[in-house]
């Protein structure tokens, strides 16, 4: 626990000033975190980032992450992100032949899904910050996830009896999950009262409940991945916490949904 607290303080001390400042530093941060997350995912399947398919994945990720303000780079070349992604798929499939199926169709699918999974989440990490009221909503997402995780842990520990999804995450309980949603709703109420979020109380509470549930699903998705590939943590870059994916799994689900629900 002591190691987890120390790591959280140091990581927060680095992360928070960048989030508050925004601009180019947050773009650099998003690219760095996304690249590490992609490395962690590929490593689960014993694929190296420093290989031909790994480099293709990384380049696709970097292009996919391009913020709207830099979209002109692709526009000047007369390409869209979708067209670049399709070209990447062709490169992957070509490599299955060159590698004589040592890199196979399943590896292609995993590489593409990994790039999209990480890329979508961290793209919206940047776009959330750059939006009007973006800083407020980014902190809202962070506090919502923190409240959900903490509420689920402590309420589950105190009252949990019915297992939520034992095949994926044996320690999570239904009672803890509900408690996490309740704690997230409390955070939403505080944001309505004390920040400039321009939403009705009822509307934000409904959306918060949905976001809290999807944040927990994001956590379960990463747990399912780790269980399938028989790894304890996605990485060890954050002592006591694991890897970048271990810390951002819920955020990768919540941030795109902020935009899907047109909060930004």
226 and 43 Cβ atoms separated by less than 8 Å: no
Let me know if 201 is exposed, middle or buried by CB neighbors in 10 A (0-12, 13-18, 19+). Answer: exposed
Lowest mean pLDDT among 32-46, 115-129, 192-206, 244-258: 192-206
pLDDT tens, position by position, 154-192 = 999 999 889 998 888 888 999 999 999 999 999 999 999
**What mean pLDDT is predicted for residues 198-209?**
92
pLDDT bucket at 216, cuts 50 / 70 / 90: very high
| Residue with the two structure tokens 């239904």 | 174
Q: Give the pTM.
A: 0.93
Q: What percentage of the chain exceeds 70 in pLDDT?
A: 99
Q: Where are the domains of the chain?
A: 1-130, 133-263
Mean pLDDT score of the chain, rounded to an integer?
92
3-state secondary structure at position 162: coil
**What mean pLDDT is predicted for residues 179-207?**
93
State residue 16's pLDDT score: 92
The Cα–Cα gap between 123 and 128 comes to 9
pLDDT tens, position by position, 218-239 = 999 999 999 999 998 888 887 7
**CA dihedral (96, 102, 106, 111) positive or negative:** negative
Contacts for 5-12: CB closer than 8 Å, 24+ residues apart: 5/240, 6/239, 6/240, 7/238, 7/239, 7/240, 7/241, 8/241, 11/238, 11/241, 11/247
The string of DSSP codes covering 35-83 is: HHHHHHHHHHTT--TTSHHHHHHHHHHHHHT--GGGTHHHHHTT--HHH
- Is the model's pLDDT at 102 over the cut of 70? yes
- Is the model's pLDDT at 5 over the cut of 80? no
The DSSP 8-state label assigned to residue 104 in this structure reads -
State residue 43's pLDDT score: 96
The encoded tokens of residue 23 equal: 């601009």
The set of residues, in sequence order, having a beta carbon less than 8 Å from that of 235 and lying 6+ positions away, is 36, 39, 40, 43, 242, 243, 244, 245, 246
| Residue with the two structure tokens 């004390």 | 194
């Amino acid at each position: 626990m002591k190691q987890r607290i120390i790591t959280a303080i140091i990581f927060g001390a680095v992360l928070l000033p960048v989030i508050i400042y925004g601009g180019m530093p947050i773009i650099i941060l998003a690219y760095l975190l996304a690249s590490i997350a992609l490395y962690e995912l590929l490593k689960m399947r014993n694929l190296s980032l420093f290989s031909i398919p790994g480099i293709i994945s990384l380049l696709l990720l970097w292009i996919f992450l391009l913020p709207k303000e830099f979209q002109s780079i692709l526009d000047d070349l007369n390409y869209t992100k979708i067209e670049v992604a399709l070209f990447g798929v062709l490169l992957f499939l070509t490599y299955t032949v060159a590698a004589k199926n040592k890199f196979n169709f399943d590896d292609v699918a995993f590489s593409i899904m990994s790039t999209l999974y990480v890329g979508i989440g961290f793209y919206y990490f940047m776009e959330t910050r750059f939006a009007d009221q973006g800083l407020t909503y980014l902190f809202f997402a962070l506090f919502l996830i923190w409240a959900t995780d903490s509420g689920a842990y402590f309420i589950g520990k105190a009252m949990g009896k019915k297992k939520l999804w034992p095949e994926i995450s044996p320690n999570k309980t239904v009672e803890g999950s509900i408690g996490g949603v309740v704690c997230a709703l409390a955070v939403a109420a505080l944001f309505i009262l004390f920040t400039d979020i321009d939403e009705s109380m009822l509307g934000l509470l409904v959306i918060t409940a949905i976001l809290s549930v999807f944040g927990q699903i994001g956590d379960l998705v990463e747990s399912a991945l780790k269980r399938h590939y028989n790894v304890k943590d996605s990485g060890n870059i954050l002592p006591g916490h694991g890897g970048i994916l271990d810390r951002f799994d819920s955020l990768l689900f919540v941030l795109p949904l902020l935009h899907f629900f047109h909060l930004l």
